[in-house]
């Protein structure tokens, strides 16, 4: 039902955000503070060079499964930001939601429906102040490049793609066949829709989150 203009104007920002958000798995009240998230478990040998932290914007190729023992603390708050109905994006979204359920993550999902919603939906995600915002869908890459440098205290993870020039708060989990970078660079010649498998999506989410939880951010995690 259409609200009268005066009544509509009285909606709080929190209520407006709630209208746009769906998919909370745990019933967590995000308006209340919660404990600082921490990693449970440790990265195994081979995730990165133990003698030197990766440089900003560096690409690391961790040993497969070296992230498996790392889990977020219970109640970890994540916003899944997604755009696009292509099979690749759907596979990534499924990977994130299955991971969140398995790890008892408090998950909110925000979907951008059309180009005009991309930046507003990213702003909505930031306003929720989650522990992490996970982006799934190539349509979000360029808008993320515009928004993320203005919110350096917010951590972002891009799965199945990467930003051309990420700031220290943007981590990516990528692989050959999924290396879309935006900024007019066009689709990579190695782009392969068939490379977006449930196994790769699951690995991207787990490796990316493990890296963020351990303070290894602003880098690209290459999963080949």
User: What residues does each domain of the chain span?
Assistant: 56-222
β-sheet bridge partners, residue 156: 133, 170
- CA-atom Rg of the chain in angstroms: 17
**Stated pTM of the model:** 0.87
pLDDT at 190: 77
What CA–CA distances, in Å, run from 156 to 87, 134, 141, 144? 22, 6, 12, 9
Spatial separation of the C-alpha atoms in residues 102 and 123, rounded to whole Å: 27
E-strand ranges in 106-155 read 106-112, 132-136
CA angle at 43 for the pair 74 and 204, rounded to the nearest 5°: 75
Return per-residue pLDDT of the chain as tens, 224 residues.
433 433 333 334 444 444 445 444 456 789 888 888 999 999 999 999 888 889 999 999 999 999 999 999 988 999 999 999 999 999 999 999 999 999 999 999 999 999 999 999 999 999 999 999 999 999 999 999 999 999 999 999 999 999 988 999 999 999 998 966 655 555 555 789 999 999 999 999 999 999 999 999 999 999 98
The CATH architecture of the domain made up of 56-222 is 3-Layer(aba) Sandwich (3.40)
């Amino acid at each position: 039902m259409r609200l009268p203009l005066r009544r509509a104007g009285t909606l709080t920002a929190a209520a407006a955000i709630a209208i746009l958000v769906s998919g909370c798995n745990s019933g967590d009240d995000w308006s209340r503070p919660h404990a600082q998230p921490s990693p449970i478990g440790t990265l195994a040998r081979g995730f990165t060079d133990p003698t030197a932290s990766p440089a900003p914007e560096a690409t690391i190729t961790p040993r497969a499964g070296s992230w498996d023992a790392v889990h977020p603390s219970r109640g970890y708050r994540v916003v899944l930001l997604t755009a696009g109905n292509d099979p690749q994006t759907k596979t990534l979204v499924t990977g994130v939601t299955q991971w969140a359920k398995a790890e008892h993550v408090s998950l909110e999902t925000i979907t951008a429906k059309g180009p005009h919603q991309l930046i507003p939906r990213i702003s909505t995600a930031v306003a929720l102040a989650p522990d992490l915002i996970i982006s799934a869908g190539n349509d979000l890459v360029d808008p993320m490049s515009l928004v993320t440098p203005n919110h350096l205290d917010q951590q972002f993870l891009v799965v199945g793609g990467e930003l051309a020039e990420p700031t220290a708060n943007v981590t990516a989990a990528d692989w050959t066949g999924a290396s879309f970078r935006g900024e007019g660079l066009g689709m990579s010649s190695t782009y392969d829709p068939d490379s977006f498998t449930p196994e790769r999506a699951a690995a991207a989410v787990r490796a990316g989150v493990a890296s963020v939880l351990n303070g290894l951010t602003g880098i690209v995690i290459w999963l080949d």
